[in-house]
Amino acid sequence: MAGLTAQHWLTPDWDPHLTIAQLSLPHLTAHGMKAAVIDVDRTLLPGRDVTLPGPVRDWLVDAGRRLQLHLFSNNPSRDRIAAVADQLQVSFTFGAGKPRRGALRSVVRDLALPPEAIAMIGDRLFTDVLCGNRMGLYTVLVHPVRDDGKPCRHDRVQRFERAMARVMGAPSA
C-alpha cells in the first residue's frame, strides 16, 4: 500500500469481519506472509486479563508454526504485554506509539524480512491499519474478541472508526 494517499492508509488489505481466532492462516501464507505483528488489547484479549481465550491461543500456536510472531501494543504496561508474550514465547513491544512508525521500524528490522512479507493484525483502523499501511505491511483488520474467542458485536469504537474513514474517503471502510 506504499505510495497511497493518506485517506487510503485507512483501508486494510484484508477485512474479513472475523476475530483473529477465525482468520485463515492459509490465506496469510498464500499472500506471502512470513511474519505477523499483532496488536494485543481487544485483538487477542477482551479486557484487562492476561489469559488468552482458548480459540485465540490455539490460533496463535498454529500461527507460530508457520509465521514469526511479534506482539505490538500501545499499552504502556510492560508487565501486562510480557505476560501475554510469555504464554507464547514470542517477542513483544509495549508502548509502541501507533500510528507512529518508529517502534515498528525496529520490529521490521529485527524480523529481517521485507515489509510486504509481514502482516499487521489488529482491531483499529487509526492505529493498527494506519501504522501498518504507512510501513508497507499487509494489513488485516479483525473484530475485537470476546473472552470466548468470538467477535464482540457491539464495538462502538471500530464502528466509529469505520464511519470516520468513510468520511475521509477510504473506499472500503
Q: How many CB atoms lie within 10 A of CB 70?
A: 20
Per-position b or e across 36-48, b if 16+ CB within 10 A of its CB:
bbbbbbbbbbbee
Q: Which candidate, 31, 7, 23, 47, places its Cα nearest to that of 129?
A: 7
CA distance 61 to 130: 26
| 18 pLDDT more than 60 | yes
Greater pLDDT, 100 or 48: 100
| Strand ranges of the sheet holding 118-122, from the earlier edge strand across to the other edge | 91-93, 68-72, 35-38, 118-122, 138-141
The residue type of 111 is L
Residue 162 has pLDDT above 70, yes or no: yes
* Percentage of residues in the chain having pLDDT higher than 70: 95
pLDDT (mean) for 144-148:
92
pLDDT at 1: 46
Q: What is the pLDDT of residue 47?
A: 82
Q: What average pLDDT does this structure show over 125-143? A: 97
Ranges 35-44, 128-137, 154-163: which has the least confidence = 154-163
User: Is the predicted pLDDT of residue 6 greater than 70, yes or no?
Assistant: no
Q: What is the DSSP letter of 169?
A: T
Cα-based angle 166, 42, 24 (whole degrees, multiple of 5): 80
CA atoms of 92 and 79, how far apart (whole Å): 11
Secondary structure of residue 45 in the 3-state scheme: strand
- What average pLDDT is seen over the chain? 93
Residue 97 has pLDDT above 70, yes or no: yes
Evaluate if residue 104 carries a pLDDT over 60.
Answer: yes
pLDDT at residue 3 greater than cutoff 60: no
